Amino acid sequence: MSVVLTDCKIFLGGYDLSGHHNQLELNYAAEMLDDTVFGTSGTRSSKPGLKTVEYSGTIFWDESIDGPIFNRIGATREVLSCAHVGNAVGDPAYTVRAVQGTYNPLSGEVGQLLAATLDGHSANSPLVRGAVLIPRNPAMTVTGTGTVWQLGAVAAGKRVYGALHVIHAAGSGPPAISVTVKSAAALGFGSPTNRLTFAPQSVPGAQWMETNGSAITDQYWRADWTISGTGPNFRAFLVVGIL
């Protein structure tokens, strides 16, 4: 089914860049290595080499994000996640750890909106296609559990990856949010097992976690969170995938 892009979600570290972009390009490829030898049919032969991930985007310049992006040029293994929509549990999403390569904060002509471009490349991390387990909205103010999603079983040698973006944190005490990803054998989610446990966060930021490659037969997955502090208010975005 065709999709009209009107509400993409784009998160870089602890920042929500969704409302600043008007163009995004995410490329996933394998380098093609020429292994053509004599005696072939006259057509070149190729073998796949290393995987590559590249992304680029165009934003309308805004002072609130200019500093954070500027300071991240050359920052390695920054967590980037994006989704076509990403408003509900189960929506497809992509995540990768990347190094920010280029930021062009001043480009345009008289009478036009000031635009900027940003691009980056993978930093020894795969591009993971997964599902949203915590959408950006609504705000999280109390301890709770997310919606169960059938992400599927994990074969031996495969891993479960999780990318957590905390994009808003408020309250006193200080406030803190701790997120876990659990799996269970049945939709009723009886006797779940913790699979990923993110460190508590009191400020915006991002975390990346992955399992050790052991097989997991459970089909169903869910995010849980524990919130503490006085008057806590958090917004987060969590992508979980199997690769």
Give the per-residue pLDDT at 2.
Answer: 78
Res. 1: pLDDT tops 80: no
Same domain? 158 vs 119: no
- Give residue-wise pLDDT tens across range 119-157: 999 999 999 999 999 999 999 999 999 999 999 999 999
The answer to the question of residue 157 being in a domain is yes
Q: Are 128 and 94 in contact (CB under 8 A)?
A: yes
Same domain? 157 vs 194: yes
Same domain? 108 vs 193: no
**If residue 63 lies in a helix (H) or strand (E), which one and from where to where?**
helix 63-70
Same domain? 204 vs 142: yes
The answer to the question of residue 2 being in a domain is no
Same domain? 17 vs 94: yes
The answer to the question of residue 161 being in a domain is yes
Domain boundary among 128, 155, 174: 128
- Give residue-wise pLDDT tens across range 57-77: 999 988 889 998 999 898 878
Same domain? 136 vs 122: no
Give the per-residue pLDDT at 42.
Answer: 87
- Give residue-wise pLDDT tens across range 15-52: 999 999 999 999 999 999 999 999 888 899 999 999 99
Give the per-residue pLDDT at 4.
Answer: 86
The answer to the question of residue 209 being in a domain is yes
pTM: 0.94
Q: What is the CATH number of the domain that holds 102?
A: 2.40.30.200
Same domain? 123 vs 169: no
Same domain? 98 vs 14: yes
Same domain? 162 vs 228: yes
Which has the higher per-residue pLDDT, 146 or 107? Answer: 146
The answer to the question of residue 228 being in a domain is yes
Q: What is the CATH number of the domain that holds 235?
A: 2.60.120.1110
The answer to the question of residue 51 being in a domain is yes
pLDDT band at 107 (very low <50, low <70, confident <90, very high): confident
- Give residue-wise pLDDT tens across range 191-206: 999 999 999 999 999 9
- Work out the burial of residue 71: count CB atoms within 10 Å of its CB; fewer than 13 is exposed, 13-18 middle, 19 or more buried: exposed
Domain that holds residue 37: 9-128
Give the per-residue pLDDT at 240.
Answer: 99
The answer to the question of residue 3 being in a domain is no
Taking the CA atoms of residue 68, residue 72, residue 78 and residue 81 in that order, the dihedral angle to the nearest 10 degrees is 50
Same domain? 158 vs 210: yes
Q: What is the share, in percent, of the chain residues with pLDDT greater than 70?
A: 100
Which has the higher per-residue pLDDT, 108 or 208? Answer: 208
Same domain? 104 vs 143: no
Domain boundary among 81, 101, 128: 128
pLDDT band at 98 (very low <50, low <70, confident <90, very high): very high
Angle of CA points 224, 153, 27, to nearest 5°: 85
Same domain? 161 vs 225: yes
The answer to the question of residue 153 being in a domain is yes
Distance CA 198, CA 232 (A): 18
Distance CA 209, CA 159 (A): 10
Distance CA 104, CA 91 (A): 31
Number of compact structural domains in the chain: 2
Mean of pLDDT values over 3-9: 88
Domain boundary among 60, 95, 128: 128
